[in-house]
Amino acid sequence: MFENGHLAKKYKIKKCECPSGKMMRFVEPCLLFFISQHVSYGYELMAKLDRFGFPKANPDPAMVYRTLRYLEKEGFVLSRWDTKGAGPAKRIYELTQKGLGLLHLWAQSIATRKKVLGKFLALYDERFKDKKK
């Protein structure tokens, strides 16, 4: 649903036309980054994703697990099973050199994107500076 209910109400936008503002495949760099900090596994990584704007309440396991398997298939991460700890077995992921490279690529890509958003907001603010309450 809307993040800004009052604006939606003001302009009579009833249906959720949801300007999501989400970035495509953004889980990927997030997972790579977390793994670069410390080896980890799906369930743990999933819980960390709210730091980057993913919904804390009900995170979606589908994207996380599928992305992790994809990253391993392509050689960006390696996994091994951990059956030592309590509870069900965990699939522990660690970053490869190639995965580190992909993270660096993502970082540059994200920096570029941030600049574009900054430009949009600058022009937007300039255009509507008088109309602000």
Partner DNA sequence: GTACACTATATGTATATCTCACATATATGA
Partner DNA sequence: TCATATATGTGAGATATACATATAGTGTAC
Residue 98 interacts, among a copy of itself, DNA, none and using kind-specific CB cut-offs from 5 to 8 Å, with a copy of itself
List beta partners, residue 95. 77
Residue type, 25: R
Taking the C-alpha atoms of residue 58 and residue 19, their distance in angstroms, rounded to an integer, is 20
Closer Cβ to DNA, 4 or 131, answer by number? 4
List beta partners, residue 80. 92
Interface mask toward DNA for 67-96; x: CB under 7 A: -xx---------------xxxxxxx-----
The answer to whether 32 and 76 are in contact (CB under 8 A) is yes
Closer Cβ to a copy of itself, 22 or 82, answer by number? 22
Closer Cβ to DNA, 66 or 119, answer by number? 66
